[in-house]
A and B are shown apart, each in its own frame.
Chain A
Amino acid sequence: MEDITLTINGKNISCPSGTSILEAAKRKGIKIPTLCYHPDLEPFGACRLCLVEDEKTGRIMASCVTPVAPNMTIRTDSPAIKTHRTNVIRLMLANHPESCIVCSQGNRCELRQIAADLGVGEVDLYPMPHYTGLEATNPFIVRDLSKCILCGKCIRADHELVVAGAIDYNLRGFKSRPATLYDMPLERSVCTFCGTCLSMCPTGALSLKNEQYVGSPQNESKTICGFCGVGCSIVMGSVDGRIVEVNPSHEQETVNGSTLCVRGHFAHDFLNTKDRLTQPLIRDNGELTPVSWDAALDTVAKQLVDIKKKYGPQSVAFLGSSKCTNEENYLFQKIARVLFETNNVDSGGYMSGRPVLNRVEKRMDGGCRKNPLSNIEKAEAIVLLGADPGHSVPVVSYYLKRASRKGIPLIVVDPKKTEMVPFSSLWLNLIPHTDSQLINGLAAMLWKQNSLDAVFIDRFTEGFDVYCEGLKGLDIESVCRDTGLTMEAMAQTADLLAGKKIAFVCGNGILKQRYGMPSMGALLNLLLMTGSLGSERGGLYIPARENNQVGAWDMGAVPDALPGRRDLDIESARKDWERAWQANISPDRGLDVIRMVEEAEKGSLKALYIMGENPVRSLPQPERVRKSLERLDFLVVQDILLSETCKIANVVLPGAAFCEKAGSFTNMEGRIQSFEPVVAPLGEARADWEILQLLAGKMGSPQHYGSLEKVRGEIARFIPMYRDLDGGVDPGWVRQKGDRRLFEPDGEGTLIPFTPVVSIEHKDINDEYPFTAILGSQRFHLGSGTRTCRSGRIRDYGVKGEIELSLADGASLNLQNGDSVRVESEHGFIEREIKLEKGLSKGLVFIPVAFNANDVMNLIGLTRLGEPDSPGWQECQVKVAKL
């Protein structure tokens, strides 16, 4: 399309047709005041402040909704325009309460700023404020709709970006206001408290409820959210070194754009709790006592070195963190591998399905690493498996809901009627852990219709023949029997998927379930058969639960791989790193976190260094974990909070939270995001990488980094995936590694294998435990809740994490909402209140994790994931009794 030429304020401007006058002016640096315009929202034309005049015709128009036309001669500041604009502001102010002096929006109020720019002070019009009650019943957002100017940003953000539908305009004319259904307070609506509207509101109509501080922060600075693996860009406001508010960063091309979730927006309160560690502690006569850094580090260095000398390298283990930065995890595993000559190093990602993901890694040989979430909205069809992203990774759910609103077919595979179901084209309400049968069944149906990408299969894969043999033998009727789905539902699904590239979004329901391995295998086969991999219009998305779960793995904080995801079993990989580090690397695989606990229990593991993990709360069987860690000769915990694990440590080292240090995180998309500190660490606490390098020095490491840049330089030099981390610019994306032809631009390289169809023996349900409990997350908490449980506003909101039961089971057990039950598995029991839910099938129990000190971990066994007969960490058989 041809560009259009026009002049604005005498400047010649050329821009593509369809551009609005406002955007054209903005590009030339001409400022036009607006209140309802937002670059991420559809233009709306509500506030009438962006009026401009065409000098030729004298026409006055709203520049945000008027597209440019050839030969326009626009003035943005003619006397007529100024008069109109001033009148608009005068009318708005006449309708606005005179509460500026006590309004928490303060000088950030856009209405006030524009009024000041136009020289409007006291309004000479008859004041007609429209008083509505102040709504301050929830701990997050205060609504004072008398200050609302009806710009509709909140409503449009809710509908267009977050797709929640909590609010819309109500009534008309003077009485018109944004309202929830039945005009209920927000907490009784479908509002998820993502706070997107709050960050956008130009006035004080929506304001942050903040007990600690009222007003504008002293400093605002950009960083990356420290909760889930989406890695949202945020701006944190601070006052006197304390974080008082969080907003989306509003930069271009960030993963979250203008959105956030309730955790990102409001749960950072934990940074200011009194449980923060501010000085090193050493256990003295059973009590943790403050000591100097020197004393603490000397003790740690001496004890660890002595234990290694006495019992050998295998007696020491290191548990790194999927919450710490890439640089820190790199240093951490280097200490383990170089100074202690052991591969006993793991990170929290193990608990989030790494064993299953390892299969993907092996089959793709490190390809398939860059998965921009923005591609979800370009997919031809989406299948959401075992994930409730609205709760676990909310920003991903916004992408999915937007895609569904665009008309992309969305199929939800979940035994529970999740929040995504109303947005889906089809809900496959399958029997828990029968996903692999379902996927194979669908593959067989597609294959029978010849709905496959023959060119893709031929060019990039091998072993298709064997796979086909397996599909041929599949009986769809028995798949229906196993999964509990009707033939009609299967056929409908196959119809929706036929001939399309498919995006699979695959959550803990697959990664942590009993049959996670075969399910993931089946899924990869289907991805290959449909040619969905490596395409913008399809692919595999794994929502990472923790912010740097991906990066910690890349940095080698795992027992079976070296940094750069180089397989420890491969000699050349070891040789490369031996050269890089000038040290010998043990070829023996190390202990994963579960085996660390088991070996500590047996007494063969003597010392454990934990950085930023809380296994006593996050692992199954917390009591057993605690007892086994108590058996260690020496336990060091480096953390930011006095966690359950710190309480049994010999030495506690105070680290820094993400906003108190510099570093980089790698998100679920493979985006490397570096950041600088917003505030200084609390008290004597120090950035974790500093602690590690001081310690390395004390333990005899000849190398001294001195600065984070040097650590980054080493990472960039030796890990090709992170080549761009060096230097001051934004590192961008992880580079592909490996040599699979699919991911190679030159079209050379190896083929991706299909794997044979695996059939699963269906297990009979033990009559003693007739219910299947599904463990799942709840949007107010992350992981085991170590941090979010300490967030004041999350606590004040008072979600109880009720156990959810089906209506049918509620009736047969004579239970009503609010009754307490005891849920018992073969491993343990918990007691909680219940809530009856329509969306659950009979025989299912849903238990939110992270509540009551994460007691739900008592229900599952401490078996390693993905082993034959593993109970899985996602569901277990239970019995339910009324208390």
Chain B
Amino acid sequence: MKPKEIDREQLKAIIDRHRGKTWALIPLLQEIQETAGYIPPESIEPVAEALNLFPSQVQGVITFYAGFSLEPKGKYVVRVCRGTACHVKGGRSILRLMRKELGLDEGQTDPEYRFTLETVACLGACFLAPTMMVNRNYYGKLNPNKVASVLAQYRKKKGES
């Protein structure tokens, strides 16, 4: 299975809308990532050209921020918190379990582009530790059973679609 097909026309329209606005690099990259799920490397040069920047500069900004990715991601991006509070509450075991369940290491995506496993420094929900996110949903006070049920939920969703 391949990642979601990119709508090149749409990307071009997004870039054209920001043409000439050098300050708008980050909003533009965010919009591309939002639309395509990641920033296709081949869009670096058109972005640079539109904003009158060097392609190497645009790449520098993309690689600086953990929030931008130059690689396609899975349909569901799982972010396990590695912050201090979560660590104290057993976040490391949650991550270990996740790795095992998904068969992925941190930063990896499965070949079907269903799941991507990532870690973050803190999700800002320490009172729910240990926590993780799947796409935009928070899951707190995790334990092995809860992790399994959350994953089952997303695997099922996948089956439906």
Contacts and interface: CB of A to CB of B under 8 A. Distances in A.
Nearest to A405: B52
Given A181-B44, A422-B49, A172 B55 contact: no
Given A181-B44, A182-B41, A422-B49, A165 B64 contact: no
Contact of B64 (A166, A172, A182, A422): A172
A548 to B, nearest CB: 35
A179 B90 CA distance: 38
Interface in B50-70: 54-57, 59-60, 63-64
B50 to A, nearest CB: 12
A790 to B, nearest CB: 34
Classify chain A's interface size: 10 to 19
Contacts of A169: 60, 64
Interface string A145-179: 00000000000000100000111111110000001
A179 B44 CA distance: 14
B92 to A, nearest CB: 21
Interface string B88-110: 00000000000000000000000
A180 interface: yes
Contact of A170 (B41, B49, B54, B59): B59
B63 A159 contact: no
Contacts of B60: 168-170, 179
Given A181-B44, A182-B41, A422-B49, A165 B56 contact: yes
A859 B146 CA distance: 79
A179 B56 contact: yes
Given A169-B64, A172-B64, A422-B49, A182 B54 contact: no
Nearest to A169: B60
B63 A181 contact: no
A180 B60 CA distance: 9
B64 to A, nearest CB: 5
Contacts, number: 36
Interface string B9-49: 00000000000000000000000000000000100110001
Contacts of B59: 168, 170, 179, 181-182
Nearest to B65: A172
A400 to B, nearest CB: 16
Contacts of B45: 181
A206 to B, nearest CB: 16
A299 B55 CA distance: 62
Contacts of B56: 165-168, 179-181, 189
Classify chain B's interface size: 10 to 19
Nearest to B57: A168
B64 A181 contact: no
Nearest to B42: A182
A172 B55 CA distance: 17
Contacts of A167: 56
Contacts of A179: 56, 59-60
Nearest to B53: A165
A172 B59 CA distance: 12
A232 B47 CA distance: 36
A171 B64 contact: yes
A484 to B, nearest CB: 24
A159 B41 contact: no
A145 to B, nearest CB: 15
B64 A159 contact: no
A201 B64 CA distance: 23
B54 A172 contact: no
B41 A168 contact: no
Contacts of B57: 159, 165, 168
A340 B56 CA distance: 61
Nearest to B64: A172
A378 B115 CA distance: 56
B69 to A, nearest CB: 13
A821 to B, nearest CB: 29
A172 B66 CA distance: 9
A179 B64 CA distance: 12
Contacts of A170: 59-60, 63
Contacts of A182: 41, 59
B108 to A, nearest CB: 18
A166 B55 CA distance: 8
A179 B60 CA distance: 8
A167 to B, nearest CB: 6
Interface in A175-198: 179-182, 189
A181 B63 CA distance: 11
Contacts of B41: 182
A182 B43 CA distance: 12
Nearest to B70: A182
A434 B55 CA distance: 34
Contacts of B49: 422
B32 to A, nearest CB: 17
A509 B41 CA distance: 37
Contacts of A168: 54, 56-57, 59-60
A755 to B, nearest CB: 39
A390 to B, nearest CB: 15
Nearest to A173: B64
B63 A172 contact: yes
Contacts of A166: 54, 56
A179 to B, nearest CB: 7
A644 to B, nearest CB: 42
A171 B63 contact: yes
Among B49, B54, B56, B57, chain A packs the most CB atoms within 10 A around the CB of B56
A172 B41 CA distance: 18
A882 to B, nearest CB: 31
Given A181-B44, A182-B41, A422-B49, A165 B63 contact: no
A171 B64 CA distance: 5
A182 B41 CA distance: 8
A662 to B, nearest CB: 42
Contacts of A189: 56
A777 B64 CA distance: 39
A183 to B, nearest CB: 8
A179 B70 CA distance: 15
A130 to B, nearest CB: 16
Nearest to B59: A181
B98 to A, nearest CB: 24
Contacts of B54: 159, 165-166, 168
A189 B41 CA distance: 15
B43 to A, nearest CB: 12
A180 B54 CA distance: 10
A253 B54 CA distance: 28
7 contacts: A168-B54, A168-B60, A169-B60, A171-B63, A181-B45, A189-B56, A422-B49
Interface of A: 159, 165-172, 179-182, 189, 422
Question: Which 7 pairs of residues, A with B, have the shortest CB-CB distance?
Answer: A165-B54, A168-B60, A168-B56, A181-B55, A171-B63, A168-B57, A172-B64
Given A159-B54, A166-B56, A189-B56, 7 more contacts: A165-B55, A165-B57, A166-B54, A168-B60, A172-B63, A172-B64, A181-B59
Interface of B: 41, 44-45, 49, 54-57, 59-60, 63-64
